[in-house]
């Protein structure tokens, strides 16, 4: 932005990964379109990918991006978990980030600095520069409740959380078993847990916390966090904020949507485990056989198995191994009339918005969950990592818009269980109840984002405070 322009500006730092970049970008779009801001994204080159570059190139007017230089990570163990690597990248990028924010403040009316939860170590810069700062929780009130409570839980617990004799009780949330807590909490002696605890210790430092959820979806949990409490920043529900469309090629979109056009209304189960979700070779085969046994029409986004995955497969590189090679022999031929399998990526938003889609078998990532809610599609939730087990508890036990398959003692969901839960979602009484509840939630989600809705008003309140802090 040229010096002298008086459009209020917001600097946004998402942690690496499309799962964080996309919801922050959609938040920025709402600030630009509805509240008169301009925005600059600051991203990390260490975790850059073709998918991320394509997404940043597609940003609309009013949104620009800057790339932080890479930082050395060769001192980390080769098996360091992703949370550990993310936090080290953020902490080591502080000096260069300080230069960028100082320049933005000198050349724009910098009204606010927004981060996600992995970037709390950069708040010191905003405080030094006197810039209002806020955290955007890209997940829900349940996860935020756990983060706020984690330091206390840590002090009061000596065993591994999976060995807790009683579930963890968070305000307004369903009881959560230790094994269903955040993925980095599996092992207390792991660096990933130490970093999570570090984040939790600092989660009260921002001047405000925006949450990508809405009151009607988590009424009791949201009320508990929105009540004033000494030492806790104000909390604002601003969701559901989802992407407006997928970044897939026209060819792939056309293939999926043309196939869906030929299917009966509400008859298709969409199967996708997210941008980072992969299954073992054994589990991939069980999913295939389970879908076939169910007799249900399906559209399946398949990726190479985690124990066979070739380099590049994660981002859909055409040179990577073909995931179709790992499907059971004859599966594609036997399901040709009732199923469509696509490699690596699918136009998820468009598929969920299609009238033929009647269910969604998902990993339960929060972005996918909100996309399902906005389009009114009931779910089978199959958590893999991050906060997804907590999401599964909330969606199946509290919100009641999802079913959860039973995992065997060997960690594998067998084909008979997959077939059972698919048939129940698509044709059973449980599925009808979930569908009715999801229809109610879809209506509430749409209302929350109107000018009279709770989420629109919450973001407008925050935007107004930021504007008041500068001479516009």
Evaluate whether 9-239+449-467 and 250-446 have a shared fold. Answer: yes
Confidence of residue 18 (pLDDT cuts 50, 70, 90): confident
Listed by start position, the domains of the chain span 9-239+449-467, 250-446
Candidates 3.40.50.720, 3.40.50.2000, 3.40.50.300, 3.10.20.30; CATH matching 9-239+449-467: 3.40.50.2000
- Whether 47 shows a pLDDT value over 80: the answer reads no
- What three-state secondary structure class fits 428? coil
pLDDT digit string (tens) for 374-413? 999 999 999 999 999 999 999 999 999 999 999 999 999 9
pLDDT value for 471: 53
Task: Calculate the alpha carbon distances from 40 to 125, 162, 339 in Å.
Answer: 16, 41, 42
**Pair 394, 383: CB distance under 8 Å:** no
- Whether 318 shows a pLDDT value over 70: the answer reads no
pLDDT value for 396: 96
Confidence of residue 313 (pLDDT cuts 50, 70, 90): very low
Confidence of residue 314 (pLDDT cuts 50, 70, 90): very low
Q: Which fold has domain 250-446?
A: Rossmann fold (3.40.50)
Q: Give the pLDDT mean for 59-80.
A: 91
pTM, whole model, 2 decimals?
0.93
Closest CA to 147 of 213, 65, 88, 203: 203
Of 29-33, 47-51, 301-305, 424-428, the poorest mean pLDDT is in 47-51
Confidence of residue 7 (pLDDT cuts 50, 70, 90): very high
pLDDT digit string (tens) for 150-169? 999 999 999 999 999 999 99
- What three-state secondary structure class fits 128? helix
Please identify every residue annotated as catalytic. 20, 116
pLDDT value for 99: 97
Q: What kind and span of H or E run contains 209?
A: strand 209-211
Of 18-22, 72-76, 130-134, the poorest mean pLDDT is in 18-22
| Terminal Cα distance for the chain, rounded | 15
């Amino acid at each position: 932005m040229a010096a002298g322009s008086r459009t209020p500006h917001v600097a946004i730092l998402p942690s690496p990964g499309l799962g964080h970049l996309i919801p922050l970008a959609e938040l920025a779009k709402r600030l630009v379109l509805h509240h008169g801001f301009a925005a600059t994204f600051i991203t990390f080159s260490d975790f850059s990918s073709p998918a991320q570059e394509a997404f940043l190139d597609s940003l609309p007017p009013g949104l620009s991006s800057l790339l932080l230089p890479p930082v050395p990570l060769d001192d980390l163990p080769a098996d360091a978990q992703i949370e550990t690597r993310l936090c080290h990248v953020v902490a080591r990028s502080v000096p260069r980030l300080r230069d960028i924010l100082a320049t933005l403040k000198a050349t724009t009316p910098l009204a606010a600095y927004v981060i996600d939860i992995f970037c709390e170590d950069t708040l010191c810069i905003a405080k030094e520069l006197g810039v209002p700062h806020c955290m955007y929780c890209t997940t829900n009130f349940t996860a935020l409740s756990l983060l706020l409570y984690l330091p206390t839980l840590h002090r009061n617990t000596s065993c591994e959380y999976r060995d807790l004799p009683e579930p963890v009780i968070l305000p307004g949330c369903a009881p959560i078993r230790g094994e269903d807590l955040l993925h980095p909490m599996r092992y207390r002696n792991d660096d990933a847990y130490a970093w999570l605890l570090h984040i939790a210790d600092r989660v009260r430092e921002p001047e405000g916390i925006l949450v990508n959820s809405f009151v009607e979806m988590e009424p009791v949990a949201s009320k508990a966090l929105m009540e004033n409490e000494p030492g806790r920043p104000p909390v604002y529900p601003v969701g559901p904020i989802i992407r407006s469309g997928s970044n897939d090629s026209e060819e792939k979109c056309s293939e999926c949507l043309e196939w869906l056009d030929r299917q009966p209304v509400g008859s298709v189960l969409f199967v996708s485990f997210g941008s980072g979700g992969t299954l073992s070779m054994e589990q991939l085969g069980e999913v295939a056989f389970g879908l076939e046994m169910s007799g249900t029409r399906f559209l399946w986004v398949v990726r190479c198995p985690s124990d066979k995955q070739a380099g590049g497969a994660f981002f859909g590189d055409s040179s990577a191994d073909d995931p179709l090679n790992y499907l059971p022999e004859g599966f594609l031929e036997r399901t040709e009339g009732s199923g469509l399998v696509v490699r690596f990526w699918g136009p998820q938003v468009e598929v969920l918005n299609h009238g033929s889609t009647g269910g969604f078998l998902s990993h339960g990532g929060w972005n996918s969950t909100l996309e399902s809610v906005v389009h009114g599609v009931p779910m089978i939730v199959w958590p893999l990592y991050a906060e997804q087990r907590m999401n599964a508890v909330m969606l199946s036990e509290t919100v009641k818009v999802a079913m959860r398959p039973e995992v065997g003692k060997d960690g594998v969901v067998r084909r008979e269980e997959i077939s059972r839960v698919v048939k129940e979602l698509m044709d059973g009484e449980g599925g009808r109840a979930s569908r009715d509840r999801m229809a109610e939630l879809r209506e509430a989600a749409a209302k929350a984002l109107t000018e009279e809705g709770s989420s629109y008003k919450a973001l407008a309140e925050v935007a107004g405070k930021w504007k008041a802090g500068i001479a516009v």
